[in-house]
Amino acid sequence: MKLVLVAAIVLAGAVAGGLAIADRSVRLTSGGSGLAGRLQVAKPIPPAPAALQSRLETLAAAYGEEVGIAVTDVATGWTAGVDADRPYPQQSVSKLWVAIAVMRAVDEGRIDPDGVVTLGEADRSVFFQPVAYRIGAGGYQTTVSDLLRRALVESDNAANDRLMRELGGPDGVALALQEMGLTGVKVGAFERDLQALTAGLVWQPDYGIGWNFEAAREALPRATRQAALDAYLAAPLDGAAPGEITAALAALSRGELLSAASTARVLDWMTQARTGPRRLKGGLPAGWSIAHKTGTGQDFAGASVGINDVGLLTAPDGRIYAVAVMMRRTWKPVPERLAFMQSVTRAVAEDWDRTAGIQTAD
């Protein structure tokens, strides 16, 4: 059993732009799997509020599809949830773990955040990758920090894949996460390889140009695509349980993963996220803020895969909740998906109202 003393813990003010410092002792044990099973705060963790747990169960049952929910109080450690311990496909949520792994290397002096990186034709990825459009005959020069911003704020796939290469690829990212105790969250593969495998393809360079990937995908037999998708959903390479994600987010918020400066930078990028403005963020009342990362998978046979949003919600009094809402595969129309995610954030805010003794305004 190893005792790790954490002297500087980043609390709610990090999301709002300031840092609040506190002392906390954290004990890592050998039991359980991932951070959620191995991280124990010295003081006993209270049970999750019964009213919130009941509300989440009601919301999940009413939605009528396979969903995973976890809500963790960052300060006290309790977690409420539904199907919170089973891995779900993360899709672009996994970009957050890549960014954290890179910032850990920055803290250790192994990567220069202002170091120049040149992207070439081999760095093209799939789907949304605006940085790839800047690659010309001589490549495109940028910095590690710019790639981090693009990956977290814009969810740029090419930026994320290049950051993974800076760490030695998927295996290098996995090792970095393991060293931080984040064994319950996976990245699994480069974005372009993950999307190709999910569709029933094997990545090849010309897929990164124009609509070549989509054309190759459409040319596949329906049975091939279905078999590939079923295999991915059964054992997602990028899988993570909602409870493991909120445990990792809580550790990030408390300053247990990165230096105070690196923690603040990651949270700032998450606060600027342009994706999913009507997911978790859409249900927040006035006075609340969010730092988050979304994930959106491919559509097939009338359904969407890996529709997710995870983040840190900060209440008006500075209390922080780590939240993950994940959909394995949903046939619901987009407005219903958004309404469900928003209902979870409203449930968290209503629970805060109860515990803070504040009457909800009409």
Q: Are residues 45 and 126 in the same domain?
A: no
Tell whether 133 and 155 lie within a shared domain: yes
- 208 with 280, same domain: the answer is no
Q: Are residues 128 and 230 in the same domain?
A: yes
Q: Which of 174, 204, 234 is the last residue of a domain?
A: 234
Q: Is 299 exposed, middle or buried (0-12, 13-18, 19+ CB in 10 A)?
A: exposed
As to burial, measured by CB atoms within 10 angstroms (0-12 exposed, 13-18 middle, 19+ buried), residue 109 is exposed
Least confident of 13-17, 228-232, 262-266: 13-17
Q: Does residue 156 register a pLDDT over 50?
A: yes
Is residue 30 scored above 90 in pLDDT?
A: no
Residue 13 has pLDDT above 60, yes or no: no
Q: For residue 19, give the CATH number of its domain.
A: 3.40.710.10
Q: What is the pLDDT of residue 358?
A: 52
In this structure, is residue 294 part of a structural domain? yes
Q: What is d(CA 247, CA 185) in angstroms, rounded to the nearest whole number?
A: 10
Measured over the CA atoms of residue 103, residue 107, residue 111 and residue 112, the dihedral's sign is: positive
Which pLDDT does position 42 carry in this prediction? 55
Residue 200 three-state SS: coil
Q: How many domains does the chain have?
A: 2
Check residue 234 and give its pLDDT: 97
Q: Which domain holds residue 132?
A: 112-166+189-234
Give the per-residue pLDDT at 36.
Answer: 62
> How does pLDDT run across 65-105, given as a tens digit for each residue?
999 999 999 999 999 999 999 999 999 999 999 999 999 99
Distance between CA atoms of 163 and 146, rounded to whole angstroms?
10
- Considering the domain boundaries, does residue 107 fall inside one? no
pTM of the prediction? 0.88
Percent of the chain with pLDDT over 90: 86
